[in-house]
Homo-oligomer: A and B are copies of this chain.
Amino acid sequence: MRTDGRQPSELRPVTITTGVNKYAEGSVLIEVGETKVICTASVEERVPPFMKGQGKGWITAEYSMLPRATHSRNQREAARGKLTGRTMEIQRLIGRALRSVVDLQALGERTITLDCDVIQADGGTRTTSITGSFVALCLAVNKLAKTTTFAKYPITDYLASVSVGVIQERALLDLNYDEDSKAKVDMNVVMTGNGKFVEVQGTGEEEPFSRSELNELLELAEGGIGRLIERQREALGEDAGRIGGGA
């Protein structure tokens, strides 16, 4: 039995509240258990220098934690004067994951920046950021669609993410912080609505893992991601059907 009474394949309660920011083109507050992340999508009508003149858009992400999002206070990266490796790794992951379901050509020469600010952390902040950012991105694209005619709807599929891990030889879905710190194997999985993998990042620093453990973890993740995508559909409401519609 898990400390919070969940079954091994059970997600924590998930809430996605849209429109939490009055300025951003898209915004959500996503809560997965006690992990809370504000995701905003900001649209700019220009692309970074390396993308100029290609007629394509760009999706990028930034990630940060409030200093007291965690048990003990962390120093701000702005005060340290540089980003940690962990932050850089996470924001690269979020950006890459979201780009996998965006038709950059269809988006046109504009940049959408996803800001993921962790208000409170209890494990799974990077996966929760991806799941929440996807909704913020859709909201921003839908807002754009009111004033812009896209040749094709630029979001090609749903996308969500969850963590899985092995504790005392049991595979568990959606680890909270306590579980995460005890896990021998830790894996973050990003999948699309049609059940394909976008990112699989498994690490067995404490204890290497076998192919069958890997498979068990991937199955758990698949189930969890399916349920997260249902929550995304609900959050998007009547616009839910546009994703992947391509028109």
Q: A residues touching B (Cβ–Cβ < 8 Å)?
A: 21-24, 27, 34, 38, 40, 42, 44, 62, 64, 66-73, 76-89, 91-92, 96-97, 99-100, 113, 115, 117, 119-120, 157, 187, 191-192, 194-211, 214, 218
- Which B residues lie within 8 Å of A202 (CB)? 197, 199-201
A187 to B201, CA, bound (A): 10
9 CB contacts below 8 A, A to B, read A27-B68, A62-B67, A62-B79, A73-B113, A78-B82, A81-B81, A100-B205, A196-B204, A197-B209
Residues of B within 8 A of A209 (CB): 196-197
- Which of B66, B80, B83 makes the CB contact (< 8 A) with A40? B66
Query: How many copies of this kind of chain does the complex include?
Result: 6
A85 & B78 in contact (Cβ 8 Å cutoff): no
B68 and A42 within 8 A (CB): yes
Question: Interface SS of chain A: helix, strand, loop or mixed?
Answer: mixed
Q: What residues on B are CB-neighbors of A218 within 8 Å? A: 211, 214
- The interface residues of chain B lying within 8 Å CB-to-CB of A80 are 78
> Is B79 a contact partner of A81 (Cβ separation < 8 A)?
no
Report how far A192 CA is from B96 CA in the complex, Å: 28
Closest partner residue, chain B, to A41 (CB atom): B68
A194 to B211, CA, bound (A): 12
Whether A96 contacts B203 by the Cβ 8 Å rule is yes
Partner of A200, one of B21, B113, B214: B214
- Chain B residue contacts of A198, Cβ below 8 A: 203-205, 208
In the A-B complex, the 8 residue pairs with the closest CB atoms: A85-B88, A196-B208, A77-B78, A78-B78, A42-B73, A40-B68, A200-B202, A24-B68
